[in-house]
Amino acid sequence: MPADAAAPRVRAVSAERLATAAGPAQFPPGDLPEIAFAGRSNVGKSSLLGRLAGRRGLARTSAEPGKTRLLHFYRVECAVQDERRSVVLVDLPGYGYAKVSKQERARWRTLVEGYLGNRPALRAVIVLHDVRRELADAEHELLLWLAERGSPALLVLTKTDKLAPMQRALRIRALTEAAELPEGHVLATSASTGDGIDALWGALLDRV
């Protein structure tokens, strides 16, 4: 059965950029539940966010990986059956880009940890990971950090369209084992085809 078969149909009805922040002073008020998108640079955070919001150009996808040093907040209103719900999706700057100075890396850490560690509105952090790659220390550390804080992470595999179905299934199984997460905490998606988007919306709305 396809993963989406049991997921409710979620439709984004409106989306807007709320804020772009270089630090806490520019964070929005935090009166709506927030979900943060974390992951290596180029993993597809902005693309997936745009797909969820039903507006491909909403979040800027980067021609220059690793250049974004800002937090982008987007309010998305969606319709689930007869209900309307609003959430804020937060596009975090990507990590792990090699051509970044030590100083810039430290600035990234201060900004991202300053948000993740002190944000009452934050309901969930999703960790995005390219389905073709092995998990590295950075992903394990992030998953562990989230588990220790009592917020069970959701590992979202990206770019599934890049693999043939058989290979895709094998990679999903291998990464689920490697992440040591409970069943249902690993989802496979493609921003290009929309694969897994309904299931992801379902998982996000369960957390807000």
What is the closest distance, in whole angstroms, from the C-beta atom of residue 83 to ligand GTP in the complex? 28
Q: In this structure, what DSSP letter does residue 199 have?
A: H
- Among candidates 66, 116, 114, 75, which has minimal Cα distance to 93? 66
Q: At 202, list the tokens.
A: 């379902």
Three-state DSSP at 34 gives: strand
Report the partner that residue 162 touches, choosing among Mg ion, ligand GTP, none (CB closer than 5 to 8 A by kind). Answer: ligand GTP
Nearer to Mg ion, 45 or 171 (CB): 45
What is the closest distance, in whole angstroms, from the C-beta atom of residue 31 to ligand GTP in the complex? 26
Considering the rule CB under 6 A, would residue 200 count as an interface residue with ligand GTP? no
Nearer to ligand GTP, 47 or 73 (CB): 47
201 within 8 A of 7, measured Cβ to Cβ: yes
What is the closest distance, in whole angstroms, from the C-beta atom of residue 130 to ligand GTP in the complex? 9
Binds ligand GTP by CB under 6 A, chosen from 171, 190, 197, 198: 190
Determine the distance from the C-alpha atom of residue 54 to the mean position of all C-alpha atoms in its chain, rounded to a whole number.
15
Spatial separation of the C-alpha atoms in residues 46 and 39, rounded to whole Å: 10
Nearer to ligand GTP, 34 or 195 (CB): 195
Nearer to ligand GTP, 11 or 60 (CB): 60
Q: Among residue numbers 46 through 65, which ones bind ligand GTP (CB under 6 A)?
A: 46-47, 61-62, 65
Spatial separation of the C-alpha atoms in residues 144 and 149, rounded to whole Å: 9
Nearer to ligand GTP, 63 or 166 (CB): 63
8 within 8 A of 55, measured Cβ to Cβ: no
Three-state DSSP at 195 gives: coil
Question: What is the length of the chain?
Answer: 208
Binds ligand GTP by CB under 6 A, chosen from 32, 43, 58, 156: 43
Element (H, E) at 140: helix 137-148
Which residues are at the interface with ligand GTP (CB under 6 A)?
39, 41-47, 61-62, 65-66, 68, 94, 158-159, 161-162, 190-192
Question: What does the binding site for Mg ion look like in residue numbers (CB under 5 A)?
Answer: 45-46
